């Protein structure tokens, strides 16, 4: 470290430091889903008598959001890759989509875990409680919608990636296109 607190001589990053989002780690989504699954199972197990029955609306809403994000991902990918007839895209819109995608994939994972925990409890208790039997289908619908939202969020996030320009490829030591 130099006296100003920055990196010393050989530790300096090359070129300007560019802000950006890191790709969503699948492991963090799995951990979030597992924690939410346990908490959902525990909560429903300890408080079931005090809660109303599940309904279909949340699962359908999650599925609807997943469809909207999947369509946005397809359109964004076509525009980022500059496919014929796709038009141009606003870079700020791509940045907003990337943030939406990260939030959706994490939110979807959390909902998937929670609905999964509730579904596990309802399936295990359905032979003892008639009300648990009624909650199996909405819990599974919520689980499916949440998984769909997670997948759509990951697809949208990957669709927002801009391919490196020729200048960036040259800076990384790759041969210029057309040269071998």
Give the per-residue pLDDT at 130. 77
Has residue 143 been placed in a domain?
A: yes
Give the per-residue pLDDT at 70. 96
pLDDT along the chain (180 residues), means of 10: 53 63 89 96 84 88 96 91 81 91 96 95 84 88 97 94 67 53
Closest CA to 132 of 36, 35, 37, 51: 51
Question: Which residues span the domain enclosing 110?
Answer: 25-162
Has residue 4 been placed in a domain?
A: no
Has residue 75 been placed in a domain?
A: yes
Has residue 45 been placed in a domain?
A: yes
Has residue 66 been placed in a domain?
A: yes
Render the burial of 138-155: b for 16+ CB within 10 Å, e for the rest.
Answer: bbbbbbbbbbbbbbbbbb
Has residue 173 been placed in a domain?
A: no
Has residue 105 been placed in a domain?
A: yes
Q: How many domains does the chain have?
A: 1
* Entry pTM: 0.77
Is 91 within 8 Å of 112 (Cβ atoms)? Answer: no
Has residue 107 been placed in a domain?
A: yes
């Amino acid at each position: 470290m130099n006296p100003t607190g920055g990196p010393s001589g050989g530790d300096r990053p090359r070129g300007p430091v560019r802000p950006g989002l890191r790709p969503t780690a699948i492991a963090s989504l799995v951990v979030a889903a597992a924690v939410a699954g346990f908490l959902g199972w525990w909560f429903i197990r300890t408080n079931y008598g005090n809660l109303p029955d599940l309904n279909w609306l949340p699962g359908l809403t999650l599925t609807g959001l997943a469809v909207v994000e999947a369509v946005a991902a397809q359109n964004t990918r076509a525009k980022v890759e500059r496919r014929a007839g796709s038009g141009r895209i606003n870079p700020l819109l791509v940045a907003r989509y990337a943030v939406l995608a990260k939030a959706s994939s994490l939110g979807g994972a959390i909902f998937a875990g929670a609905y999964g925990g509730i579904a596990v409890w309802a399936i295990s208790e359905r032979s003892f409680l008639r009300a648990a039997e009624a909650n199996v289908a909405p819990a599974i619908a919520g689980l499916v919608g949440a998984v769909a939202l997670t997948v759509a969020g990951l697809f949208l996030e990957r669709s927002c990636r801009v391919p490196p320009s020729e200048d960036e490829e040259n800076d990384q030591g790759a041969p210029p296109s057309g040269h071998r």
